[in-house]
Structures are given as structure tokens and as C-alpha cells.
Structure 1
Amino acid sequence: MRPPHPPHPRALRPLSLARSMAVAAGVAALGLTVLGLPSPRPAAAARKGCPAGMASVRGEFCIDRFEASTVELLPGGGKRRHSPFEPVGKLKVKALSRRGVKPQAYISRNQAEAACQNAGKRLCTDEEWVTACKGKRATVFPYGRERERKACNDSGVSSFNRYFGQGGEAPLSAFTWANMNDARLNQLEGTLAPTGSFRRCKSSFGVHDMVGNLHEWTSAARGTFRGGYYLDSARHGDGCDYKTTAHATGYHDYSTGFRCCK
């Protein structure tokens, strides 16, 4: 589109600042300039849809591109990195969406909800989570209709058996609160992966790791987490349909994580 011819100087009338900005904003949407005010860069305009680190799902809501990591919020406004291998406990933490970091495990639904709120976000609803996972074609897996081996981090090693199995599968007596929250479990090679490591494990909305890696809490009133984790993404439904409702909202272990919506 060719810019319009500028009016003759005698036709110009002084504009108030508010009116000038309003006119500039309207014309900028057409990629033009007015009164010497430059139009915004396209990339800057695109970012206005969702905050950094989030993806837009059909223009209806935003969702974190990556499983959440956390930072502790200190009294007085300071921040301190929180280990993804340690429970959150009573700490005040804020959710972050970042590529290439180990996401926060050992977190309950209630703690995850608070972390999202501290980031100006919220936990995703079940419907939002499934929609973002299945992508634009509503497939069972983020990458397609059929399971692809090693496309997502869902066939790792069992660190729990390694530490508590005494050479084999861990007995039921080993599944204690302390053991299930042992800080060593997600640090063994072949377990939890940094966010975005599995490049095929991405939905067409640009959201990573929604199958495998960590279970992800949703906002369901009854404790619900989805997607499976690095040892299983099929036992309670395949891929994006994986759903566990066996635990209360205060439950957490080495496999439970989250991401936020807005």
C-alpha cells in the first residue's frame, strides 16, 4: 500500500497529544507514519498478543511454551533461584517459562497455582491444556496421530528403582513420602530433561514437552495432572489424553510439575 500524499501545510491543525497518539496508533496498524511518529516494528506488535515465553492458542488464551521453573521471591523484592530438585514447601515462588533448564518438580497443585499467580498468570484448565497439547489438528500426540519412540521424554530410566529397588523393582513399602520426594531422583542421567530438549515434542501451537518429562497440574478442583512423565505417558491414557486424578491438590513428588496459562 502506497502512503497517502501529505496534506498542504496550511491544512494542518494542532492536535492534542492524546489525539495525536490515537491517530498515530490507528495509522500505524496500516504500516504508515503520521506526524513523524514511526509505526511499531512488526515483531513488537506481535508480542503484544501474549507475554514473553508464552504461546497463543487460537487467540483465545496464552500458555507457557515450556514447563515451569521457579524463582524464590524474597522479602524486600529480591529473588533467588530455587532448585528444581527440592520441594517448594512454604517458600513464595514465581513461575518462569524458559528453554534449556530443568523444570520444577516436587510441587503440588496448590503450590503451582500460587506460583502462577505470582507471575500474573494462572493454572490452565483441563480443556485449555488438552487443546494446547493436541495442536491445530487435534492429534493424540503433540507431533501427530501415532506414537513415535523417543519423540518425547517418556521412556527414560527408573531412578526410583535404582535407589530404592535393591537391584530390582522397588517394593511397595519403599513408596514413602520422603522417598518419593528424594532430591536425587531427577538428577540421574536418563530422567528429567531440560525444557525443549526433545525438539519433536512440540505441538503446532509451539508448546513443548506436554507429553512426558513431568506430569503437569491443571486447575481442576479435584487434583488432576496430565501428560505423563519421563517413565510413562500411556498408563492413564495416551499422550495428550493422559490424565491422573488419584491425588489430592496438596500432593507432590518427583514426577509432578506444571505450566501456566493467561
Structure 2
Amino acid sequence: MAYIAPEGASAYCIDRWEAQVVEVDGRKERSHAPTTPVTNLLVKAVTHSGVVPQGYISKNEAEAACKASKKRLCTGDEWERVCRGKHPTTFPYGDERKSGYCNDSGRAPIVSLHPGMGDEVYASAEAMNDPRINQTPGTVALTGSFSKCKNGYGVYDMVGNLHEWVSDMQGSRGTFRGGYYQDTHLNGDGCKYRTVAHDPSYHDYSTGFRCCADVR
């Protein structure tokens, strides 16, 4: 984890990479395919470089996974402070978007995987959680594999790759940050990207997370 000690605020730590999960059964842990939902499973967050991060996860599930690791979801302010780096910039690497620095030029093959559905595909929970989406080349990348998508704290992939749930709520809606491999612009550029369109039980191929922890 990276240690963050902001001026005038409490120190905290944040995972350097987007999270994976493991399934927990009593004292036993087993791997979980990161391209499948975790619905009705007890899971724990883990974080490593060079692995496929967990998509297909809701805010509620991400929160529980962080808690099982004795961590928590970051607040939006904590998340953005880290994303923008020690000398705040719009993207982790600077103020101007640079092609190829982060995983933000991919394409989700939803329509081609579900021909004939048209725009209705985006309202289908089954289609939006199809494991084949993030198994397709040019979609989600291994954590840390975009080596320039890193800020001054040494934290990777906060823009692009997967949306990241944070603990903030707007009414009954949850919040995720940073964009994903197909979009880091529509709801704000780079570290300012913020979506509040879904309730906290929502998940699809684009939703991921990372954990924070209080410094004791």
C-alpha cells in the first residue's frame, strides 16, 4: 500500500493496484475468476501487480471485500487526492491526456457478443455481466502493465482500466471514479471522472475497486 499524509487531514493508505478477490469458506480461501460476478459469495480483497483485476462487482460487494481484508473503500476525496498525485494534475501523469499512457482506448464487444439486441443490450444485466467481455483482447489489462499510468505516490491505473467504487453516496446512488478502458472523459477528465448513475447493488463488466486503510 502507499502511505498518504495530506496536510490538515488524517493519514491513510491506499492499494497500489486495483483489487482482485478470493472466495472465503471458513478458514479456506480459493481463487475467483475476475471476469465473473461475486453475487452471493463471501469474498476478500487482495491486490497484486500483473493480474487481471476484479470487474463485475457492486459497491456493496466491494465494501464487504475490503472489510474482509481489514480495509475499507476510499472516500471520493481520498481517491482523487491520490489520483492527482503529490503535485495535483488532471491525470496521474500530468494535465494533458497522453495516448497510450493509461488503458483508456479499449472497446467492449457487448453488441457483437449479443447481436440482434441493439441498444437494449445496455439495459440487460445478463449481457452487461457477460464474462466474455473482459476476456476479449483490448479490454481490461493486467494491473500495473501500463507503466506510465502511475502518479507520484506510485499508485497505478487510477484512470482507465476499470471504474473504481468509492464510499461516497449521492442520495440512493453509489459513486465510482476514474473511468474505464473505453471511457475516461464523458463524466469528467481523468482523475475528475465521477459517475453516480447506479445504485450500490449495481455491477457490470466495467466496475472494479481498490481499498484504503486507516493509519493506526
Return the structure number with greater relative CO, CA threshold 8 A, min gap 6.
2
1:163 matched to 2:113? The reply is yes
1:67 is matched with which residue? 18
Q: 1:91 aligns with which of 28, 32, 41?
A: 41
Q: 2:161 aligns with which of 208, 213, 227?
A: 213
Whole-angstrom CA distance in 2 between matches of 1:199 and 1:118: 29
Whole-angstrom CA distance in 2 between matches of 1:136 and 1:113: 26
Q: Deviations over 1:150-182 (max 9, x none)?
A: 10001012321331356xxx7221120000000
1:183 matched to 2:153? The reply is no
Q: Deviations over 1:79-117 (max 9, x none)?
A: 100110110011111101100000000000000000000
Q: Normalization by structure 1: what TM-score?
A: 0.76
Between the aligned residues of both structures, percent identity stands at 53
Residues 165 and 232 from structure 1, CA distance in 2 versus in 1: closer, same or farther, beyond 3 angstroms?
A: farther
Q: Which has the larger radius of gyration?
A: 1
Large movers: runs of 4+ above 2 Å: none
Within a 5 Å distance, the mapping from 1:241-260 to structure 2 comes to 241-260=192-211
Whole-angstrom CA distance in 1 between matches of 2:156 and 2:5: 17
Larger mean Cα displacement after TM superposition, 229-238 or 149-158: 149-158
Aligned length: 205
Q: Deviations over 1:198-255 (max 9, x none)?
A: 0000011111000000000000123000000000000100000000000000000000
**Structure 1 unaligned runs (5+)?**
1-53
1:196 matched to 2:144? The reply is yes
Whole-angstrom CA distance in 1 between matches of 2:103 and 2:34: 17
Whole-angstrom CA distance in 2 between matches of 1:232 and 1:160: 15
**Structure 2 unaligned runs (5+)?**
none
What letter corresponds to residue 102 of structure 2 in structure 1? C
Q: Normalization by structure 2: what TM-score?
A: 0.92
Aligned-residue offset at 1:256: 0.1
1:57 matched to 2:8? The reply is no
- Given that 2:111 and 2:121 are in contact with CA atoms closer than 8 Å, whether structure 1 keeps it comes out as no
- Given that 2:24 and 2:43 are in contact with CA atoms closer than 8 Å, whether structure 1 keeps it comes out as yes
1:174 matched to 2:125? The reply is no
More strand by share: 2
Whole-angstrom CA distance in 2 between matches of 1:206 and 1:185: 29
2:82 is matched with which residue? 132
What letter corresponds to residue 118 of structure 2 in structure 1? P
1:121 is matched with which residue? 71
Any idea what SS the aligned residue of 2:167 has? Answer: coil
Whole-angstrom CA distance in 1 between matches of 2:33 and 2:209: 15
Whole-angstrom CA distance in 1 between matches of 2:192 and 2:118: 29
Whole-angstrom CA distance in 2 between matches of 1:92 and 1:118: 9
2:60 is matched with which residue? 110
Aligned-residue offset at 1:55: 0.5
Whole-angstrom CA distance in 1 between matches of 2:98 and 2:25: 43
Whole-angstrom CA distance in 1 between matches of 2:157 and 2:55: 14
Q: Deviations over 1:15-72 (max 9, x none)?
A: xxxxxxxxxxxxxxxxxxxxxxxxxxxxxxxxxxxxxxx1011361100000000101
Any idea what SS the aligned residue of 2:3 has? Answer: strand
2:187 is matched with which residue? 236
2:177 is matched with which residue? 226
